[in-house]
């Protein structure tokens, strides 16, 4: 895997792919970087073991899975679907049975995240609610009201005592879990747009993540809506400061990329990775450091990216609209083929790295560790 090599996003290249028959909708890698779980435009969850290449298909949802998380020990999987149900799966058993199925929301359950202490799940959905669940009992512990439009994303602050949630209109609420109350409201109006022609709103967090120390969080989505019904708007990743609630950075893609930012991850070495889908159906990965809101490197992919996660520190797993999970290595290509276990290597021609930022490498050095 060349994991000892220096991580350099500019060297990003495709190393393997995992194939499913339907377009993928989301993806999550477990904390031990052993499993990749992906939802798709079907009713199942695909769970690949990166060590031995084994695929398990988990059936039990009645609708598409749109958000996934793992327990810290990788023994449980949490999935939320458009039908409003959150399932808890036991990965210690070969068949990975459902431990508990929670009818969490009326309408879609858009997001699920496990608390830092592993005892609770946060979910949000189209019933305008954010909810907190006890994993052990499956009981609802909190119901947080305040959003006026569909709630797209929710995540725990690393201190475990707070939640952040974001809705269609860019309203972000910080919730204090001790009091069960709304602590702050932040306007992320840049992440929503009203399409005058079609008389409809578009926006929402398509991915959210805190950095490891909790000083910042990032939200991926859209901005500058021109014709959202044709997918013509700009992707954006907004970084917020936890203390002030200010949007400190607005990270963009290249001018000609029109679509959605579907993913954002803080890399332990301090740079930030985003991923998205262009209206053409192609995808891109964007790499940002603290020096600029423009990506210091853009990696082009032939298929739209709908979810990105880190596999260890040196690889990225991407859920693609063409049904593949592709693994990309962020180190220089080995002169000899790497041993990547049972996962089949791929024809390198199917994705091309293209450094669009030849003028930016001066800012490319990575800054301060923000380990996950």
Instruction: Provide the binding-site residues for another protein, judged by CB under 8 A.
Output: 22-23, 41-43, 62-64, 66, 81-83, 107-108, 126, 150, 195, 197-202, 204, 228-231, 259-260, 277, 279, 281, 303-304, 321-322
Q: Which is nearer to another protein, 9 or 276 (CB)?
A: 276
Residue 89 burial (C-beta neighbours within 10 Å; 0-12, 13-18, 19+):
buried
Task: Give min distance, CB of 231 to another protein, in A.
Answer: 3
d(CA 145, CA 201): 21
Residue 172, φ and ψ in degrees, nearest 5: -110, 130
Task: Give min distance, CB of 75 to another protein, in A.
Answer: 28
d(CA 253, CA 235): 7
Q: Which is nearer to another protein, 1 or 151 (CB)?
A: 151
Task: Give min distance, CB of 278 to another protein, in A.
Answer: 9
Residue 9, φ and ψ in degrees, nearest 5: -55, -25
Site of tokens 């293209």? 354
Q: Which is nearer to another protein, 202 or 311 (CB)?
A: 202
- Inter-CA distances, 32 with 43, 56, 268, 372, Å: 26, 18, 15, 12
Q: Which is nearer to another protein, 113 or 150 (CB)?
A: 150
Task: Give min distance, CB of 112 to another protein, in A.
Answer: 16
Task: Give min distance, CB of 264 to another protein, in A.
Answer: 19
Task: Give min distance, CB of 256 to another protein, in A.
Answer: 16
**Helix (H/G/I), strand (E/B), else coil: 228:** helix
Closest C-alpha to 343, from 56, 3, 54: 54
How many helical (H) and strand (E) elements, i.e. helices and strands, does the chain have? 0, 31
Q: Which is nearer to another protein, 25 or 115 (CB)?
A: 25
d(CA 184, CA 175): 7
Q: First and final CA of the chain: distance in angstroms? A: 20
- Is the Cβ–Cβ distance between 107 and 124 less than 8 Å? no
Task: Give min distance, CB of 126 to another protein, in A.
Answer: 7
Q: Which is nearer to another protein, 22 or 56 (CB)?
A: 22
Q: Which is nearer to another protein, 67 or 269 (CB)?
A: 67
Residue 166 burial (C-beta neighbours within 10 Å; 0-12, 13-18, 19+):
buried
Task: Give min distance, CB of 151 to another protein, in A.
Answer: 13
d(CA 21, CA 49): 18
Q: Which is nearer to another protein, 274 or 323 (CB)?
A: 323
């Amino acid at each position: 895997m060349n994991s000892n090599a220096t991580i350099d996003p500019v060297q990003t290249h495709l190393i393997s792919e995992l194939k499913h028959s339907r377009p993928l909708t989301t993806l999550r890698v477990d904390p031990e970087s052993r499993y990749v779980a992906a939802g798709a435009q079907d009713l199942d969850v695909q769970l690949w073991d990166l060590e031995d290449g084994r695929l398990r298909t988990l059936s039990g949802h009645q609708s598409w899975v749109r958000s996934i998380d793992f327990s810290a020990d990788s023994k449980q999987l949490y999935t939320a679907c458009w039908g409003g149900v959150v399932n808890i799966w036991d990965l210690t058993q070969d068949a990975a049975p459902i431990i508990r199925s929670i009818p969490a929301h009326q309408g879609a359950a858009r997001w699920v995240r496990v608390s830092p202490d592993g005892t609770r799940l946060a979910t949000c959905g189209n019933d305008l609610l954010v909810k907190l669940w006890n994993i052990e009992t499956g009981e609802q512990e909190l119901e947080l009201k305040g959003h006026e439009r569909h709630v797209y994303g929710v995540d725990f602050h690393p201190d475990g005592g707070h939640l952040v949630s974001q809705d269609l209109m860019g309203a972000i609420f910080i919730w204090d879990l001790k009091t069960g109350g709304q602590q702050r409201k932040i306007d992320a109006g840049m992440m929503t747009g009203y399409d005058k022609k079609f008389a409809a709103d578009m926006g929402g967090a398509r991915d959210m993540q805190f950095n490891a120390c909790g000083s910042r969080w990032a939200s991926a989505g859209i901005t500058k809506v021109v014709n959202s019904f044709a997918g013509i708007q700009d992707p954006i990743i907004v970084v917020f400061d936890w203390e002030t609630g200010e949007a400190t950075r607005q990270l963009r893609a290249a001018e000609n990329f029109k679509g959605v930012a579907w993913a954002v991850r803080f890399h332990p070495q301090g740079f930030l990775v985003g991923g998205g889908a262009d209206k053409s159906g192609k995808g891109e990965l964007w790499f940002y450091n603290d020096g600029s809101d423009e990506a210091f490197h853009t990696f082009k992919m032939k298929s739209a990216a709908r979810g990105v996660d880190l596999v260890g520190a040196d690889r990225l797993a991407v859920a693609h609209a063409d049904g593949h999970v592709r693994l990309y290595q962020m180190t220089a290509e080995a002169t000899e083929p790497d041993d990547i276990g049972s996962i089949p290597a791929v024809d390198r021609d199917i994705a091309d790295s293209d450094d669009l930022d030849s003028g930016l490498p001066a800012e490319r050095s990575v800054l301060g560790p923000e380990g996950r």
